[in-house]
Structure 1
Amino acid sequence: MKYVLGTVMSAVAVLTAVAPAATAADSAPAIIGGGTASNAPWAARLFVNGRQNCSATIIAPQFILTAKHCVSGAGTYTFRIGSLDQTTGGTVATGTTITRNPSADIAIVRLDRAVQATFSPLGTTADVRVGQTAQVYGWGATCTNQPEINCQSRVLKVASVTVTSVSCRDFAGALAVCARRGNGITAGGDSGGPMFASGRQVGVASTSDRATTTAYNNITQQRAWIRSVAGV
């Protein structure tokens, strides 16, 4: 059984065996296991109507990359950018325009102003391969034995995973990078967060069974679309 990785504001996990339409409410409780991130200046925490929701990255001065199911509903989307602590530091900016990929579980949010930051370096197909160790980042749930809303991570977490496929499927049915648990695994609230391989972002968190496997939209296959929206 796979889960959408957004947090559940009602503290009830959303089960998704097949991908039905998700809403922004499918989000609230970070990575289970893993460790605390020490260097992630491109990281962004997504809040919906002021409540913690998903993870994301800043990829250009006015553009955030995240999962489409994190921004599929109505509401005010704000981001804390460039801080490892979701409650303080960095820069806070508000989303003004959302461009959702028509066939993949990714979206790009335009901010209300340009932000000075270190932008996430986007990878190509050469940067990710089966058997490779990759790093995944997020603020999602740190537990499975209680409602995820009760075990949100205040600080950004990171875990190592092993790539098992570069052509599996994300929540929307598009090409994904799938990986098995290393020293940790993604959970609710990690949606939209990045997978890094070869020092570059190659994926956006989409689904996980919150125990052994996770799927990230393969953004190396979406570079033309990303460039058309954000210019990178």
Structure 2
Amino acid sequence: MALARTLSTLAAAALAAATFAAPAVAADEPSAAPAPSGEVNPYIIDGSEAESGPWAARLFQGDQDVCSASVIAPEWVLTAQHCVEGAGDNIGFNIGALEHAQGERFDAKPGGVYVHDTADLALVNLDRPTDVEVAPLGNPGDVNVGETVQVYGWGATCTDRPEGECQSPVLKVADVDVTDIACQDYRGGTAVCASRNDGITAGGDSGGPMFSGDVQVGVASTSDRQTTTAYTNVIQYRDWIQEVAGV
């Protein structure tokens, strides 16, 4: 069975032995979901270019674009813990454009990066408020097994080259089908697992949102880049988000 992998695109040369380097596989990562038996074609994210995503945020460590994220309040961004690992306050975002190199740059406020103790979640307090439309967060019952939901990100669009060479410059969206709402994310937290529909998440999509209808229900944590993906279940961690960000 293919092992799930974190989706960030931190520089492989610097992080060759690190858990979060792409395309390395972490030996002890949880599997996002059972993969089908037999041959599996090397799918890419596919899906399509997003037509809208005012809440979308492209995450940078310094000048390196590494992950996706979502604005959930004027001064708060939600992403994955592994996207901010080891970066301290050297985190920034391009917000307000579907092109990842455009939009307005916002940086983390000093001391403004918060990570969950056990789940693959991070909250970043921005140095100033944005005026974009924020992503509303889901509540119990907003995501269920068997539903088709949408995932967003600026991740890799190929599997035949290093992922850093084929990152999408435009926000993309794909449909995935929910298979479990109490599986595990990268750190063992509660996740929403899903299987490929018209696309699947890949490197660089980490931290990006999963939407069920108009509400965000997940944060991208792992993927086998072929058939399955796991998104930390936002609904399960609303108390923590409320405590930190007041949302």
TM range (shorter): over 0.9
Aligned twin of 2:16 = none
| 1:19 Cα deviation from its structure 2 partner | 3.4
Structure 1: distance between partners of 2:45 and 2:27:
21
1:149 to 157, 164, 178: 164
Equivalent in the alignment of 1:109: 124
- What's the C-alpha RMSD, in Å, of the aligned pairs? 1.3
Task: State the partner residue of 2:179.
Answer: 164
Task: Indicate which of 6, 12, 30 corresponds to 1:4.
Answer: 6
Q: Is the Cα contact below 8 Å between 1:8 and 1:188 reproduced in 2?
A: no
* Structure 1 runs of 4+ with >6 Å offset: none
Contact 1:2 / 1:17 at 8 angstroms: preserved in 2?
Answer: no
State how many pairs are aligned: 221
* CA–CA separation in structure 1 for the residues paired with 2:138 and 2:66: 25
Give the equivalent residue in structure 2 for 1:27: none
Match of 2:209 among 194, 197, 222: 194
For the pair 1:13 / 2:26, whether they are aligned, the reply is no
Q: Partners in 2 of 1:16 and 1:74 — Cα distance?
A: 20
Counterpart secondary structure, 2:235 = helix
Matched-pair contact (CA < 8 Å) for 2:5–2:29: no
> How far apart are residue 190 of structure 1 and its match?
0.3
CA distances 1:119-160 after superposition (whole Å, capped 9, x unpaired): 001001211000000000000100111111110100000000
Larger radius of gyration: 2
2: CA distance, partners of 1:84 / 1:35: 13
**1:67 lines up with 2:67 in the alignment:** no
Q: CA deviation at 1:207?
A: 0.1
Alignment of 1:3-42 (within 5 A): 3-10=5-12, 12-19=22-29, 32-42=45-55
Matched residue, 1:44: 57
Shift of 1:32: 1.4
Q: Which amino acid aligns with 1:101?
A: H
User: Are the equivalent residues in 1 in contact too, given 2:76–2:123 (CA < 8 A)?
Assistant: yes
Q: Which amino acid aligns with 2:78?
A: L
CA distance in 2, matches of 1:82, 1:164: 32
- TM-score w.r.t. the length of structure 1 is 0.92
Could you say which residue in structure 1 is the equivalent of 2:107? 94
What residue ranges of structure 2 are gaps of 5+ in the alignment? 14-21, 31-43
Quick check: 1:119 aligned with 2:134?
Answer: yes
Query: Aligned residues: percent identity?
Result: 54
